[in-house]
Structure 1
Amino acid sequence: MVGIHAAEHPRHLLADHSKKQKIAASIMILYRYIVYQVIAGFAIATAILLPLFSFFDLLDQLDDVGKGTYRVSDAFLYTVMLLPRRFIQIAPFIALIGTVIALGKLAVHSELIAMRVAGLSPLRISLAPLSIGVVLLLGVAILEQFVAPQLQQRAITYRANALELTVELGRNLGIWTRNEHSILRIGQIVHNTRAADIEILQLDSDGFLQTHTLAQYADIVGNDVWQLSNAIIRTFKDDQITAARADTIHWNSFVKPDDIATLTKPPESLSPIELAKHVEFLRSTGQDADSYALALWRKIGSALMTIAMLLLSIPFVFGSIRTGLSNKLVFATLIGITVYLLDQIIANTGLILRLNAAFIALVPSIVMILIAGFWLRRTF
């Protein structure tokens, strides 16, 4: 009897091992199926949301058709170049609606129930949208750093040239920047190494005006050296003003060429690295950096909001398995619109009230993550 049991024991072990392998293989097949559904859901959400937001951009641009040399084809090209920026902006809502579409379809067709009966836990089912969400975040990070800023800035320049506007600086406005003892105004950027309509105000240690320089052009001949052309220098000393003219003079600038390029671009069009460097530059020269700091932190907040929307979508589906897919999508869309509007309101209000940029940008996403976490605990 002992010999028989000893002989049969390895067979039982082999059978159990084979059974476990089959279960593991089945779970992996189910997981891949869920991943495929989530990818399809993300693709459907992108195909709905991205053209919708781009259509609004196009409508806005069509109002300018006919001005200067701006044509319908230019409006379409401008809209196309903004597509990566729009995709980044709607990524959290693609995550929300895409996951609801994917898991909602599985729930409506009772596939979620079948998977749970087969031994697939809600946590393991949830890993599929979360893993695709991580891929989405990586894609957004690449677009944010290397693609969207460059295309958006080209779109702005292209539109400005067609409309015959100096959009980088604003018509008749120029840009102003300063450090402790100097104030600089640049009226127009001609190209990367030349600016026009330059004013330089030099202050003494007490903050009184020493010299005022007005130049027709400034050529950047070095990292710190500008060559001013057709300049008028007014000197203020002992209640007297003296003026002198010079064909060319050299000025040691406190503004680097990269800083000038950054000053002429909208904050949201800059990459995270450009924003971080520019915030440091503005603060080091005693200037207001709130809008640029907020733009930087909102990029981080957008990534957290994507995670929040992913976490929120999971209990949203599991908590209402019998609810129709159309109802789920309506509720998800309402949540997305509400969160988007509240985020915009909080950001603009916080900027007006001069609240901490990190606090303004991160609070909405952190609150949504906490809500999603609480809902997940109750659902599972």
Structure 2
Amino acid sequence: MKVLRRYLAREIYLATALVFAALISLFIIFDLIHELSDVGKSAYRVSQAVVYVLLSVPGHAYELFPIAALIGTVVAVSHLAGHSELTVMRSSGVSLYRLALAVCTAGLVLALMTLVVGELIAPASDRAAQRLRLQATSSVVGQEFRSGLWVKDEGNFINVREVHLDSTLRGIKIFEFDHRFHLRSISFAERGEYLGDHWWALSNVVRTEFHGTQSRVVRLPSERWRSVLSPEIINVLLVDPHKMTLSNLWSYIQHLRENRQNSTRFEIALWRKLTYPAAVLVMMLLALPFAQYQRRAGGVGAKVFVAIMVGLGFHLLNRLFAYLGMLNEWPPVLSGVGPTVAFLGLAFAGMWWVERR
């Protein structure tokens, strides 16, 4: 069985690598075509567009791992079935469940690669890609609404019109409330620079203070300001939650909870990140029932087409569950883990049905 596992793993790795190369090449071409439409804006050049596309590759690779593993496993086991090697294995007493165990053993390497790419490579690469593009096009980091970025800081509400790549802030408004939620003051600062340890240096501050029915305007050339806002939180704006690291997701969720803000979107992303490596194994298990019909119906092309449809279905269902979970306030664990569990059940049902036949 050890020789069989090695042989099966080699076939799966080779087929998956070829599928990965094809899929990544397609994404590079599509991304480059899309970026060429923005070439010429500000200082954005073709060379920078190429670098941006290449820096986006790890993020695409992370998303494609389950689909590539599914298609690669389908190609590998279909190839074995077409050469009657699978028939010899089954005739020698190897059950479908033992084959599934061998496939999962080979899939552990791919699952580990998914974890490494998702935790160490993709977040840093995506952040670098976004910084490169924003710097070349002279854009700001991001804005949650047309009015800018809004952050809750204990009893205060902070509005920032622009966040720049060097983490400087422009157009800062601070609405300060007392414990009874009465407005105490409104401060406006033209610019804010981060000093460290959650301290900011504000420039050209205009503060309107409210005392009962009276108000007073105070103007300051500079002021130190302590806030929960930090470059680490600002960096969250550069990376999609599903491509953030687990540690960054967890810390940002804690920040939102401490400020009594909705963290559902990031909790769903956290559960998806936790289960995404396991989704690679689930997709590989789904490939096994296909091989049983290699001799009777359809060739490898038909199997690959069905595998692509199943992989796309899994990808779309993952996103659909995330959106439905946020809209309907489902438990984050259900929205994040539900599709993977559903496809795992489908894989076991397929193997059970094949074994009964």
TM-score, normalising length from structure 1?
0.86
Q: Which residue does 1:24 correspond to in 2? A: none
1:170 is displaced (CA, Å) by 7.0
Q: Which residue does 1:352 correspond to in 2? A: 327
- The amino acid across from 2:305 in the alignment is V
> Do 1:41 and 1:101's aligned partners in 2 also have CA atoms closer than 8 Å?
yes
1:55 is displaced (CA, Å) by 2.6
Q: Which residue does 2:263 correspond to in 1? A: 289
Whether 2:149 is the aligned partner of 1:184: answer: no
Q: Which residue does 2:346 correspond to in 1? A: 371
1:87 is displaced (CA, Å) by 0.8
Q: Which residue does 1:313 correspond to in 2? A: 287
> Do 1:192 and 1:261's aligned partners in 2 also have CA atoms closer than 8 Å?
no
- The amino acid across from 2:121 in the alignment is V
Whether 2:184 is the aligned partner of 1:210: answer: yes
Residues 118 and 264 of structure 1: CA distance in aligned 2, closer, same or farther (over 3 Å):
closer
In the alignment, structure 2 segments of 5+ residues that lack a partner are: none
Task: Answer with 1 or 2: which has the greater Rg.
Answer: 1
> Do 2:135 and 2:165's aligned partners in 1 also have CA atoms closer than 8 Å?
no
Q: Which residue does 1:138 correspond to in 2? A: 112
1:110 is displaced (CA, Å) by 1.0
1:123 is displaced (CA, Å) by 3.6
- The amino acid across from 2:332 in the alignment is A
Whether 2:148 is the aligned partner of 1:174: answer: yes
Q: Which residue does 1:84 correspond to in 2? A: 58
Q: Larger relative contact order (C-alpha < 8 A, sep ≥ 6)?
A: 2
**Which of residues 12, 34, 37 in structure 2 aligns to 1:38?**
12
SS of 1:40's equivalent in the other structure is helix
1:66 is displaced (CA, Å) by 2.1
Cα distance between partner residues in 2 of 1:181 and 1:369 = 46
Cα distance between partner residues in 2 of 1:204 and 1:84 = 47
1:338 is displaced (CA, Å) by 2.4
Q: Which residue does 1:330 correspond to in 2? A: 305
Whether 2:91 is the aligned partner of 1:117: answer: yes
Cα distance between partner residues in 2 of 1:102 and 1:191 = 46
Cα distance between partner residues in 1 of 2:84 and 2:270 = 43
1:111 is displaced (CA, Å) by 1.3
1:320 is displaced (CA, Å) by 4.5
SS of 1:152's equivalent in the other structure is helix
Cα distance between partner residues in 2 of 1:74 and 1:194 = 24
Q: Which residue does 1:93 correspond to in 2? A: 67
Cα distance between partner residues in 2 of 1:376 and 1:329 = 18
> Do 1:165 and 1:171's aligned partners in 2 also have CA atoms closer than 8 Å?
no
**More divergent stretch after superposition (198-207 vs 293-302):** 293-302
- The amino acid across from 1:248 in the alignment is S
* RMSD of aligned alpha carbons: 2.2
Cα distance between partner residues in 1 of 2:111 and 2:2 = 24
Cα distance between partner residues in 2 of 1:342 and 1:124 = 29
1:358 is displaced (CA, Å) by 1.9
> Do 2:141 and 2:237's aligned partners in 1 also have CA atoms closer than 8 Å?
no
SS of 2:210's equivalent in the other structure is strand
**More divergent stretch after superposition (134-143 vs 170-179):** 170-179
1:155 is displaced (CA, Å) by 0.5
**More divergent stretch after superposition (337-346 vs 129-138):** 337-346
Cα distance between partner residues in 2 of 1:220 and 1:190 = 12
Residues 350 and 31 of structure 1: CA distance in aligned 2, closer, same or farther (over 3 Å):
closer
Q: Which residue does 1:19 correspond to in 2? A: none
Cα distance between partner residues in 2 of 1:119 and 1:52 = 41
Q: Which residue does 1:62 correspond to in 2? A: 36
> Do 1:169 and 1:264's aligned partners in 2 also have CA atoms closer than 8 Å?
no
Q: Which residue does 1:361 correspond to in 2? A: 336
**More divergent stretch after superposition (296-305 vs 114-123):** 114-123
Residues 157 and 257 of structure 1: CA distance in aligned 2, closer, same or farther (over 3 Å):
closer
Cα distance between partner residues in 1 of 2:237 and 2:59 = 19
Cα distance between partner residues in 2 of 1:222 and 1:325 = 58
Cα distance between partner residues in 1 of 2:311 and 2:243 = 23
Q: Which residue does 1:341 correspond to in 2? A: 316
1:56 is displaced (CA, Å) by 2.6
Q: How does 1:123-272 map to 2 (within 5 A)?
A: 123-169=97-143, 173-190=147-164, 192=166, 194-263=168-237, 265-272=239-246
SS of 2:322's equivalent in the other structure is helix
- The amino acid across from 2:330 in the alignment is L
1:114-147 deviations in whole A, cap 9, x for unaligned?
Answer: 2333454434433332122111111111111111
1:278 is displaced (CA, Å) by 0.3
Residues 355 and 127 of structure 1: CA distance in aligned 2, closer, same or farther (over 3 Å):
closer
Residues 293 and 137 of structure 1: CA distance in aligned 2, closer, same or farther (over 3 Å):
same
Cα distance between partner residues in 2 of 1:50 and 1:73 = 19
> Do 1:107 and 1:322's aligned partners in 2 also have CA atoms closer than 8 Å?
no
1:206-240 deviations in whole A, cap 9, x for unaligned?
Answer: 21210111112223334133222211111011122
Residues 28 and 356 of structure 1: CA distance in aligned 2, closer, same or farther (over 3 Å):
closer
SS of 1:311's equivalent in the other structure is helix
In the alignment, structure 1 segments of 5+ residues that lack a partner are: 1-26
